[in-house]
């Protein structure tokens, strides 16, 4: 069976392959599969964006006769939800400061909006919504979460997005201070993938 990931992000594909490779013989990114498609992620929720992306990429692959029964397309959408900001930036996490996916600007805006929030009220969580669209089978949907605290300054040089501001208390460091392996052990994407895998049983 084949799994097409609705992404060309090498690290994301490797992480997905490590968990779902037990169920799919071949795991490919869109470029590897020969697919080119820009999906407009304009839904109001992470789940809506993941579902839209999965359905559109699935339809394209199916129209090109790439999918046999049991083959699947997996799509995801991720956001940071901050308690003190009523769940913002949420579904607009990548476009919080601008429409250009500017990590530095997004982090700067988050720090500004959180500057007067006291300790004890700085809780937040990352959420990853995933939808697995399967040929000849019902879709599998899951949302994985990981909880932490927003720091007052950026700490660490690894990761991307809001990782330098997201402090994970059990490890005593931000996501950007973790190695890739450490983050993959506890991340929201890993939690979502394990729920997807459980849904395939």
Give the C-alpha separation, 76 to 91, whole Å: 12
Residue in the block written with tokens 């400061």: 97
Distance CA 121, CA 29 (A): 39
How many other CB atoms sit within 10 Å of the CB of residue 74? 28
SS3 134: strand
Helices (H), the chain: 10-20, 30-33, 46-63, 103-114, 180-186, 188-199
Choice among 40, 42, 76, 77 that is catalytic: 77
116 as an active site residue: the answer is no
Strands 166-168, 173-174: pairing kind: antiparallel
- Residues carrying an active site annotation: 77
């Amino acid at each position: 069976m084949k799994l097409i990931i609705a992404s060309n992000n090498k690290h994301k594909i490797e992480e997905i392959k490590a968990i779902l490779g037990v169920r799919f013989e071949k795991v490919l990114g869109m470029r590897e599969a020969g697919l080119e498609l820009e999906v407009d992620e304009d839904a109001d929720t992470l789940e809506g964006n993941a579902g839209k992306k999965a359905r559109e990429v699935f339809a394209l692959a199916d129209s090109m006769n790439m999918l046999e029964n049991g083959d699947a397309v997996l799509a995801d959408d991720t956001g940071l939800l901050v308690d003190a900001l009523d769940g913002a930036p949420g579904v607009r996490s990548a476009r919080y400061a601008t429409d250009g996916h500017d990590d530095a600007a997004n982090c700067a805006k988050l720090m500004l909006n959180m500057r007067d929030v006291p300790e004890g009220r700085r809780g937040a969580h990352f959420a990853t919504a995933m939808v697995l669209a399967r040929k000849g089978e019902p879709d599998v949907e899951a949302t994985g979460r990981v909880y932490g605290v927003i720091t007052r300054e950026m700490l660490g040089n690894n990761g991307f997005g809001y990782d330098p501001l997201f402090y994970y208390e059990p490890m005593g460091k931000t996501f950007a201070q973790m190695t890739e392996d450490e983050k993959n052990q506890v991340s929201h994407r890993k939690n979502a993938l394990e729920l997807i895998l459980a849904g395939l049983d």
